[in-house]
Amino acid sequence: MQIENIDYDLLKKRGFLRQRQDGFFVLRTRMATGVYKKEQLEKLADIASRYGNGIVHATTRQGLEIPFIKYEDIPAVEKELRLSGILSGTSGPRLRTTTVCPGNNWCKQGLIDTFHMADRIEKELGVACGMDLPHKFKISISGCPNGCMRPQNSEIGIHGAAGGFVVYLGGCNGRTPRNGFKLDKIFTEDEVLSLVQRSIAFFKSKAKPKQRLALLIEEAGKENFLKEIGG
C-alpha cells in the first residue's frame, strides 16, 4: 500500500516509525525513568492486541514499542495513549529518552537518586525527550560507579560517586562510536544540571546537521568546548 503526502519526520517525532513492511508503523512509548504502572502495561497490551499484532517489545532506551500499527489507526492510538498518561518516544534529530538505573530507590549499590536527577533535567531545565536538535543526543544516569547505564557511551553520562556525581561528555555509539571523557571533578547535583544545560545549548548552536557531540568536540577542540560550558 502506497501512502501519499505523509510527513514521516513529524510521525517520528510523535513516536511512530515507518516499518520495513509497507503501510505499517512501530509505536515507541516512553515513561519518565522507565517506570510503567500496571494499568499502563495493560493498556499497551490492549493496544497491541487491537491495533498491532499482539507484540510489545522492550527498547534499549527503557521504553516499550508496538509494531504493526496501521497509518489510519495512528490518531486513535494517540488518543488512547493520552488518556492513559503514556508518553510517546521519538526518533530522528532530537533528544532521546534519558535512561536511568534505579539508583538508591531500590538498588543496594545506588549512591544517588537517579529518578530525582532525571526529573529535574526534564522539568526544571525543559530538557525533555523530543527536543529538536541538529542530531540525536542521549543522556544516561547510573546510580554508582558500576555504570550499568554505560555513561561513557552517551553524549552526557552521569553516575553517582562518594560525595556527589561524576560526569562524562562526548560519548556515543552508532557508526562512529566514541568513549566520552571523564571530567576531573566530583560535582554537586546543581552543578551537573548546569553542565547539562550548557552542553545542550552548545550543541544546539554549534553542531551541523547529523553531527554527534563527539565529532563537534573534536572539531571545536576539547579545551574550547570545556571553556564554553564551564567544565
181 and 148 housed in the same domain: yes
Domain boundary among the residues 88, 113, 148 is at: 88
CATH number for the domain spanning 177: value is: 3.30.413.10
Residue range 92-111: average pLDDT? 97
Domain boundary among the residues 88, 122, 151 is at: 88
215 and 144 housed in the same domain: yes
108 and 177 housed in the same domain: yes
Percent composition of the chain: helix, strand, coil (DSSP 3-state, to 5): 40, 20, 40
Residue 88 pLDDT > 90, yes or no?
A: yes
Cβ neighbours around 223 below 10 Å, total:
9
55 and 111 housed in the same domain: no
16 and 121 housed in the same domain: no
One-letter identity of residue 212: R
115 and 183 housed in the same domain: yes
CB contact at 8 A, 180 and 216: no
76 within domain boundaries: yes
Its domain, for residue 175, covers 99-229
Rounded Cα gap, residues 197 and 170, in angstroms: 14
Rounded Cα gap, residues 27 and 85, in angstroms: 15
162-198 pLDDT, tens per residue? 999 999 999 999 888 999 999 999 999 999 999 999 9
54 within domain boundaries: yes
1 within domain boundaries: no
121-162 pLDDT, tens per residue? 999 999 999 999 999 999 999 999 999 999 999 999 999 999
pTM: 0.93
Helix (H) or strand (E) holding 119: helix 114-123
3 within domain boundaries: no
122 and 178 housed in the same domain: yes
